[in-house]
Structure formats: C-alpha cells, structure tokens
A and B are shown apart, each in its own frame.
Chain A
Amino acid sequence: MLSYILRRVAIAIPTLLLLIIISFLLMHAAPGGPFTSERPLPPAVLANIEAKYGLDEPIYVQIINYIGGIITSFDFGPSFKYKDRSVNDIISTGFPVTLTYGFLSFAVAVIVGGALGIAAALKQNSWLDYFAVGISVGAQVLPNFVMAPLLVLVFTLWLGWLPGGGWNGGQWNHLILPVIALSTSYMASIARLTRSSMLEVLHTNFIRTAMAKGLPYRVIVFKHALKPALLPVMSYLGPAFVSMITGSVIIDMYFSTGGIGQSYVNSALNRDYAVMMGITILIGGLTILFNLIVDILYAWVDPKIRY
C-alpha cells in the first residue's frame, strides 16, 4: 500500500504541472484580458500595466516564471483586479470560510443523507422508504439558487431570526443558512446512492447466508452490509467533498460569505489570471488528494482490492 501511495504522490506532480499548463493556455486563449474594460486603456497605459505584471512576455516565459515563483517562494502572484492583495492573501482569507461552511455542510449531508438512505433501504417500500425518498427528492429538486433567496426571505425578512448574509468571522447564526442551502442537494444525492447500494448489498448471497445463520439483524447491517455498500457512495463523496470545501459561487453570492467559490468565478469573469490559476491549483490538488484517500478507503472497505 505504501508504495502505491508513493507512486500516486509521484504522479500527482506531473498531473498538476499539466493542469497548470492547460489552464494557463486556456485562460490566455479566452477573449478579453484582465485589463479589458468598457473604456479601453490607452496603449501607453496598457503597456505599463502589462510590463508590471509580466504579461508582455511570450506565453511560455510567463508559464515558466509562474511555476518558478511557486517552487522557489510559494508565490502565486498578485491579483490583477484587487490591487492590494496577492493570490495568497485571497486564498488564505477565503479558503477558511469555504472550508468551514463546506465541511459543516458535508457533515450534515453525510449524516442526514446516510441515515435516510440506510433507513430507506432497510425498510424498502415501506412508508419510511417513501418518506426518505420523498425528502431527498424534494431536497434535490429545489436548486440552491431558489433555496438561497427563499431562506433569506423566510428567516431574515419574515421571521427575523437570522441575518441575511455576511460571515462575521464565522459566527454560528451566520452559518446556518449557507449550510442548509449548500448541504441539501448533496444530502439528497448521498441518501439516494446509499439506499440503492445498500439494497444491492442486502440482496447478495453473503448477506443472505448471514441471515440464514441467524445473526442479529443489527450486526448484519452494520458489520457486514454497510461497508461494501459504502463503495459507490465513497466514489461520489471524494469529488463532492472537494467541491463543497472549495465553496459554491451561489452560496457566496446570495449570502455574501466571501469564500473562494465566488473568487473563483469572479476571477474567471474578470480574467484575473493569477487568482484563477491559484484557485485552480488548489482545486486540482485537493481533487487529486481526495481521490487518493478514496482509493485507500476502497482497499479498507474491500480488502480484495489491489492496485
């Protein structure tokens, strides 16, 4: 296993490099630049700005400089849009925010979704099953751009219980609405995936054998059925976890939470190249990391799996 992990870490580096190069080229190929605006800058002014940020160099030099900066001084460059902040600044203020509400949402989604899914599978075609499926489908079909303004309307304007936005250093009352809005659709997906894979496992011969042997139901479910049933859910959870902790532009937009989900989309819309790249690398790194963790977990769930 250790050698497998080492091999995976080794391949992560060329993967990230490739990601950087592809993203860099894509970004520069897209029409419009960071300094394209309603009123075009006079050529002399534009030249000064491009010289300052090194945008006047050929693209391969820019890529080499960029990667060099990261390796030698962990410098991801300045923001072209927010003049007094570097990419490191933006990520180090925004990422803790998304990490907080993303992680909480993830916990809520896994616990509630998992419980709903297992309950529904154990009592297949009972009222509990229909209830659980109903809830999860209901949560799934309410897109978060409907959910978010609805929550603000109900809890802020009508009931006056919770603030309608802002982060305020992560105070609990500012967390509730974003977490609800973000977790619901993931919760629903987890519930449905858990239900279906649980059902599949419960119908396998080895569970039937266990039942025939007269083992207590609880033992069968939690000791024997749950682990293999987790497999497809885990494949889903890896990328889902990454996308939750890297935030959601919808959440940041409606709740003014200031996470990197919004920075990511804004930097793309503003062509704020360095910020865009910084967050892309973060997302890429996390994606690679969590897929590795998922693979390790596979081997734990099903010891027969060999890489």
Chain B
Amino acid sequence: MMVDVQKMEQFAENLAAQEEVKGRSLLADARRRFFHNKAAVVSLIVLSLVVVFSVFGRTIAVWSNEEIDWGILGQIAELGAPNIENGHFFGADQLGRDLYSRVIQGTQVSLMVGVVGALIAVIVGTLYGAIAGYTGGKVDNVMMRFVDIIQSIPYMFVLILLLVVFGRSLFMLFVGIGLISWLDMSRIARGQTLSLKNKEFVEAAIATGVKPLTIILRHIVPNLLGVVVVYATLLVPQMILTESFISFLGLGVQEPNTSWGALINEGAGNMQYGTLWQLVFPMFFFIITLFSFFFIGDGLRDALDPKER
C-alpha cells in the first residue's frame, strides 16, 4: 500500500515535470508545425489580405458607403453593374449606393462580430464547460441546466429588452452575440472534460495535490483546444449571420451602415433580377474569409495537438 502510493507520487511528479518541459517547447513546436501546413499559411495570408482590404480599401473608393448615385437609381439592373469608369468597382446596390464601399464597411463589422463572438465562445464556453465537467456532481448538473435554460428562453425578447433598456450601440450588439455564442461550446468542452478527467495524467495531478483550478487550466484546457478551435471556426459564420437577425430587431448595425449578413440577404433576395453582383461580391469575401478561418483552425488544431510529435 505504502509502496503503491509512493510509486504513484513519483510517477506523477515525473509526469508533471515532463509536462512542464513539454509546455515550454510546445509553443515553438506548434508554431513550427503550423507554418509547415501550407493550407493554413495560405489562409493566413488570405485573411490578412481581407483585413488589409477592409482597412485600406477605402482609400481608392470613389463613393462613400451611403451616397446614392442618383444617375443610376431606378435602373440598377441596366446601369449598376460593376464598372471601373463610374467608380462602382463592385457595382451598385438596389438604391444606387456603391457596393465596393459597402462591402469594405460590411467587412469591418462582420469580421469584428465573427471574431469577438468566437472569442467569447472560446473563453467563456471552454472555461465554463471545463469547470462543470471537472467538478461534476451537483455543480455540473446545476451549471448545465442553466445552459439549457439560457438556450431555451426566447432569445428575441432578450434582444428587444436590451434594445429598449440600453439603446442601440456596437457594444450592445456584442453583448447580444456574446449571450448565446458560448452555449454549445460549453457543452462540447464539458463532454470532453468528462472523459479527460479520468486520464492518467489528470489522476496523477490530482494525486499530487494540484489545485483543481490549476488542473483545469494546465491539464484540461490544453487538451480541449483541438476541438475548441475547430468548433470556434464553425461558430464564426454562425455569429456573422446572427448579427443580421439582431439587426433586424433593431439592436445591431443600422443603415446606412451594413454587414455581410445584410448585404448577402439583400443580394440573395434579388438574385433572379439580373443584379447578381449584389450577391457575388459580399459572398466572395464571406466565403474566402470563412475558408481561411477553417484552414487556420485545422492548422491550429494539428499544431496544438499535444499528442502530435
């Protein structure tokens, strides 16, 4: 018995030490692995280009994002097509406004929404799920039923009340997004944690008396990252589209400002009316950005996988 315990402790110490060492080399390792992944690197470049475009694209714009080109208003299908000469590089929207400027401005909003939403999900969702799963028992049960409730209450009323009580602002948009983005993530993190906490390295850490919070942060969370990162990239498009629902209720982005969700929605509505560019340009940026996020996510997953050597 005595021997057993001693052996266990020794084993655990070794293991902990090993983890420490690995912890330091892990990042460098991960970076190396990430930059060896071609798809991920290309995606990173594409994403950077999109960001650069959204920041500096405006400098060559001829029209602002709100000016109506009265000359083509009413004849968009005939006169509103993409055209270098009149300055509508991406064509015009149904109201004769410059799509190029609108896409740039929409890109800023939607990138921000997607990234902030995913970040909230990653931070709040992962920690919440890991704590619930690791603690288990009553705490787990109460914490997860809380998630069930939040997920089932009519979200629309929460948004409407936010609008009425606090008024509209970009910050409230993020509050609205943040309220729901982490829910599924917490479930996934908890499920994984339930399984992880029975693994030898966690049991060993427990045996050596490491504090629960430290175990969660040092041992559980790093092992969750693979699935968390992949799921976060799935969340990005969801958040970007949720924004247009929030804006529908009046809480989010208001005209004359716009977002990818709003632009795509408008373009999709008009797709059979000969103004396909209204769908194509916003969709193009939406798609290349999401592709980039996905491949970066996969690259990160592969790079961060603690088991991968």
Residues of A that sit less than 8 Å from B by CB:
7-8, 11-12, 15, 18-19, 22-23, 26-27, 29-31, 133, 137, 140-141, 143, 145-146, 149-150, 153, 157, 188-189, 192-193, 196-197, 199-200, 203-205, 228, 231-232, 234-236, 238-239, 265, 268-269, 276, 280, 283-284, 287-288, 291, 294, 298, 302, 304-305, 307
Contact = CB atoms under 8 A, between A and B. Distances in A.
A158 B114 CA distance: 35
B17 interface: no
B307 A200 contact: yes
A287 B268 contact: no
Contacts of B198: 302, 304-305
Given A19-B153, A150-B271, A284-B149, A192 B191 contact: no
B158 to A, nearest CB: 6
Given A29-B157, A236-B231, A280-B153, A140 B290 contact: yes
Contact of B160 (A30, A140, A298, A307): A30
A232 B191 contact: yes
- Mostly, the A contact residues are helix
A200 B226 contact: yes
Contacts of A193: 227, 230-231, 234
B187 interface: yes
List of 8 A-B pairs having minimum Cβ-Cβ separation, nearest first: A284-B152, A235-B191, A304-B198, A235-B188, A196-B230, A26-B157, A146-B268, A232-B227
Contacts of B160: 30-31
B97 interface: no
B294 interface: yes
Given A153-B271, A236-B184, A15 B149 contact: yes
Contacts of B142: 11
Contact of A239 (B136, B184, B190, B291): B184
B151 interface: yes
A97 to B, nearest CB: 21
B283 A146 contact: yes
Contact of B187 (A188, A228, A239): A239
